Amino acid sequence: MIRPYNMGTRAAPFERLQVADIGDVAVNPYSLTESVRIIEEFYTPVFQSGCIPLTLGGDHTLTLPILRAAHKQFGPLGLLHIDAHADINDEMFGEKIAHGTIFRRAYEEGLLQPKRVAQIGLRGSGYSPEDFDWSRERGFRVVQAEECWHRSLNPLIEEIREELGDGPVYLSFDIDALDPALAPGCGTPEMGGLTGPQALELVRGCRGLQLIGCDLVEVSPPYDPSGNTALIGANLLFEMLCVLPGV
């Protein structure tokens, strides 16, 4: 069987790790609340078994139940969150749990270590001038997209790797962190996003972290008939596989 090899980093994950597709989570399409419960229930034994799950989404809401399941095994986590949006709203349309509230809920539930949280690529319009300040006031490292323009992100990810330290870290990558010219297939595109090389620098820069799980979310193939967004998402997930401990 031919096993993919990363020509850029020389990583050979399929030679060094036991990799398997454990299938889809059978969520309830009529109830977000029930789906969140089902996802947490599914991932709890995954973490307990010692697996490092890499998840494809789908709505960013899925990260909250995964963090809940991981917390049972590892305690409070570090988080590297790459996204156009901070996802720290208190409510969305009157709901406490939605794709734009998850990291506020995770903070409130004690799932995260605030000084070990970094959010990169934030930009666009918001509901108030304080949208990014809430994260900063809690101790999160916030890097707006404007700070990333026209530069390599290798120095940034080196700094953040030091801040995240040796403890367990979860990586959540929303595809809308990328500029929509590159990845238009998402529900909330924002101009001025990360480039492809910058995305690779950030993910490859995670080598050496104690990654306990990763996700790549918000890809919506119907919004991109070219299929390019899904292809980029799959490649980023492969890059995540290439930086897991043991590769």
Q: DSSP letters of 196-244?
A: HHHHHHHHHTTTTSEEEEEEEE---GGG-TT-HHHHHHHHHHHHHHTTS
Q: Which two tokens stand for residue 64?
A: 């909250």
Give the DSSP letter of residue 176.
Answer: G
Q: Which two tokens stand for residue 110?
A: 């004690």
- For residue 114, count other CB atoms closer than 10 A to its CB: 15
- For residue 208, count other CB atoms closer than 10 A to its CB: 11
User: Parallel, antiparallel, or unpaired: how do β-strands 77-82 and 168-174 relate?
Assistant: parallel
Angle at 15 between CA 14 and CA 21, to 5 degrees: 25
pTM: 0.97
Question: What is the set of domains in the chain, with CATH numbers?
Answer: 53-241 (3.40.800.10)
- Pairwise CA distance, residues 119 & 80, whole Å: 6
Residue by residue, pLDDT tens for the chain (247 residues) are: 677 889 999 999 999 999 999 999 999 999 999 999 999 999 999 999 999 999 999 899 999 999 999 999 999 999 999 999 999 999 999 999 999 999 999 999 999 999 999 999 999 987 777 788 999 999 999 999 999 999 999 999 999 999 999 999 999 999 999 999 999 999 999 999 999 999 999 999 999 999 999 999 999 999 999 999 999 999 999 999 999 999 9
Phi, psi for residue 4 in degrees, rounded to 5: -60, 145
